[in-house]
Structure 1
Amino acid sequence: MDTFDSKNELDDRVVGMKKIGLVLGKFAPLHKGHQLLIETALAEMDLLKLIIYDSPEVTRIPLAVRSGWIRCLYPEVEVIEAWNGPSQVGYSQELMRQHERYVIEELGVAGITHFYSSEPYGEHMSHALGAVDRRVDVERIQIPISATKIRRDSHGYKDYMESLVYRDLITNVAILGAPSTGKTTLSRALAGCFNTQWMPEYGREYWEKYQIDRKLQPHELIHIAEQHLNMETTRLNVANRYLFTDTTALTTATFCRYYHGYVPERLQLLADMSPSRYDLTFLCDIDIPYEDTWDRSGDGQRNVFQRQIVQMLGYYKIPYIVLSGTLEQRVATVSSVLSRYQKYTNILEVLNCNPL
């Protein structure tokens, strides 16, 4: 078996040839051990191909998300999405032949000179490809991590993942509602309940410093939406399973339309991102007493803003769950949904199978 543990020990058979490497896996999720493998191959090869399996039996993270990580971090890699690859793994002759036939016959992979892995399957796959069996960090000494460990405790092993990968493992929960509907109190309480982060409404902080006659100009509302997203991303990088986000660009756009009669293109673009940015959306009801403070515009306006937010959610076809009652009741409702929801699954199936 031609197994090499350093880049200087290359097979004489491929000296002078264009070196084409191949890596395959589920990358569920992509971690720094995978990256060591990919980066080693890139340093040694003229061209690197990477096969990524769909593997719904192992992970709910969509194939498009996982392949997107690799394309973003390593644009020079040729990524091949394997949608119907064998679901079983093992070292029986039958299973090994299934994987070999799939890669070579169904995907049509050919011309590989080096097969890169950190696993025993490197032996049979490289032999089938007629390639050098190149193993990297087999004992996990350089990068002591596995995807299995991360799937069990993503927060505990977050340092073994790039930020853009870790963020995609966090369930981003949007808490919406008109002013004085309890969004801030609820978001803070949920963060404490789940030992994680929450994203305060940046617009409120900005408004208190810079408002004139209780209004902000369109360019200021654009700034608010942009800065809120930047701060939200920072919190996603350190959140534990969930991030509870108080208000989104949808609300900022709603306020802009109400006060100025239009939404600037940039703010509209940020609002348009909301349907794909948030995994779950909760709408705080107006069934709690209105807190008539100097910085608010009255209970009547609260009703108007609430109707506008509801219509905005309808416009974007965003499913949402209304939260009514006391703080304790609202926390209980959110907790009940989260106990049954998993990121990248259909929330409507959760609610239909297990009505609240």
Structure 2
Amino acid sequence: MVNATVGLTLGKFAPLHRGHQYMIETALRETDRVIVVIYDCPETTSIPLPVRANWFRALYPAAEVLEAWNGPQETGYTPDIMRKQEQYIFALLDGRQVTHFYSSERYGEHMSQALGAIDRRVDPQRLTFPVSGTQVRRDPYAARAFVHPRVYRDLVTTAVLLGAPSTGKTTLAQALAERYGTAWMPEYGREYWAAHQLDRRLTPDQLTEIAEGHLEREDRLITEAREVLFVDTNAITTYMFALDYHGTAAPRLTELADRAASRYDLVFLCMDDIPYDDTWDRSGEMERGIFQQKITADLQSRRIPFIPLHGSLENRLREAGRVLERYRKYDSVGKLWLEALEDSAFPKRSGTV
């Protein structure tokens, strides 16, 4: 492209917020190409660089994203620090020519001069979007109006509750949500089943609709969650019902179940050690025990770490609370599992933590 204009912006984007988006969108409007440099910054956030980079790739596929893994650690405006930052960007660009440098910070001056680019400051007083990364990190829930749902989803811990029918999942999910002042996702399959079942059965296509509808609601609901979203069942459960009803599952449902294996941060397995609630829509206590065994075996075969919850509601709240108090999304996950294994509250058996 003759005389193409190229915009460049850089930052930690920890996390990406509406102010950043306003700057990126301005660059996309004003230039032919946009390059976004994203720094690794473990001292600022535990959100991994690839997660932050993928926000841009998902929301702005036209932009070129460069992951800056070994950028200078020093920040400031001494001549030496500015020179190191500039030299690092030159090396990262690897010969790419930049015509416009986009920022809302003071460093825009020296960086644009070094690049020979137009110094394009966007909303430096934060008047259009009065938000900062520090504000979002301090309280993502309070600042969620300034965070895109695609980004906010990665700031919230998702905890799914699995188990056979009548193992207390719904009661516990609601109780946990109340205790932590957050949202919870009811089991969509129960609502769908009541409206569409025929002789207590659903077709393979209907079971797929349940899994898809559940995910759509879950994605909408997560923007209302404060720190953690509690989810009553997931696509793996629907997949297990398909096997139970039909001996097989539709390809789309199988795909959604496979995706569910890595979708949730924490998996709690409600055990079948509470009294069975023998309602007309259930298949009996013996079937509950068999289904519980199948769910457990499926989790083990998928190598999904899960935390069993036992006994009364208060005991389950206490067991789940111990895990939630220690858990930090993206941070020291392995340590949590080791601590859980040492905790007498968690049985030491294959597949559990």
TM-score using structure 2 length: 0.93
Does 1:127 find its partner at 2:117? no
In the TM superposition, residue 346 of structure 1 has moved relative to its aligned partner by 4.8
Residue 210 of structure 2 is aligned to residue 236 of structure 1: no
Q: Structure 1: how far apart are the matches of 2:180 and 2:147?
A: 22
Q: CA deviation at 1:110?
A: 3.7
In the alignment, the residues of structure 2 paired with residue 315 and residue 194 of structure 1 have an alpha-carbon distance, to the nearest angstrom, of 32
Cα distance in 1, alignment partners of residues 204 and 120 from structure 2:
57
Q: Alpha-carbon deviations, 1:235-257, whole Å to 9, x = none?
A: 11221111100000101101110
- Match of 1:73? 59
Shift of 1:105: 2.3
1:130-155 per-residue CA deviation (whole Å, 9 max, x = no partner) reads 22221111111111100110000111
Matched, 1:95 2:81: yes
Query: Given the alignment, which residue of 157, 160, 163 partners 2:143?
Result: 157
Q: Does 1:330 align with 2:316?
A: yes
* 291 and 49 in structure 1: CA distance in 2 versus 1, 3 angstrom threshold: same
- How far 1:157 moved relative to its partner? 0.7
Residue from 6, 14, 35 that aligns with 2:21: 35
- 1:7 counterpart residue number: none
Q: What is the DSSP-based 3-state SS (H/G/I as helix, E as strand, rest coil) of the residue aligned with 1:140?
A: coil
Q: Is the partner of 1:293 in helix, strand or coil?
A: coil
Structure 1, residues 285-308: CA drift from partner, whole Å, max 9, x if none?
111111122221111111111111
Residue pairs, 1:292-331, within 5 angstroms: 292-331=278-317
Distance 2:250 2:182 in 1: 34
**In structure 1, which of residues 256, 259, 269 is the aligned counterpart of residue 242 of structure 2?**
256
User: d(CA) in 1 for partners of 2:271 and 2:335?
Assistant: 23
The aligned counterpart of 1:215 is 201
What are the within-5 Å matches in structure 2 for residues 174-189 of structure 1?
174-189=160-175
Helix, strand or coil at the partner of 1:168? helix
CA-to-partner distance for each residue in 1:8-51, whole Å, 9 max, x for gaps?
xxxxxxxx943211100111111111011111112221221110
- Name the CA shift for 1:346/1:281 in 2 (closer, same or farther; >3 Å): farther
Cα deviation for residue 109 of structure 1 reads 5.1
Q: Equivalents in 2 of 1:301, 1:109: separation in Å?
A: 66
Residues 286-295 or 205-214, more deviating? 205-214
Work out the CA distance in 2 between the residues paired with 1:322 and 1:101.
52
CA contact (8 A) 1:110 1:129 kept: no
Per-residue deviation, 1:107: 4.5
Note the C-alpha offset of 1:327: 0.7
Q: Distance in 2 between matches of 1:232 and 1:65?
A: 20
CA RMSD in angstroms comes to 1.5
Residue matched to 2:7: 21
- The answer to whether the aligner puts 1:139 opposite 2:110 as a matched pair is no
Q: What 5-or-longer segments of structure 1 have no aligned partner?
A: 1-15
Which aligned runs of 4 or more in structure 1 are off by greater than 4 angstroms? Answer: none
Identity of matched residues, %: 52
Q: Given residue 180 of structure 1, which amino acid in structure 2 is its aligned partner?
A: S
Tell me what 1:6 maps to.
none
Q: CA 1:340 to 1:84, structure 2 compared with 1: closer, same or farther past 3 Å?
A: same
Find the counterpart in structure 1 of residue 269 from structure 2: 283
Instruction: Assess if the C-alpha contact under 8 Å between 1:20 and 1:47 holds in 2.
Output: yes
SS of aligned partner of 2:42: coil
SS of match in other structure, 2:226: coil
Q: Could you tell me which amino acid in structure 2 is paired with residue 219 of structure 1?
A: D
Out of 26, 46, 49, which is 2:32 matched to?
Answer: 46
Paired position in structure 2 for 1:166: 152
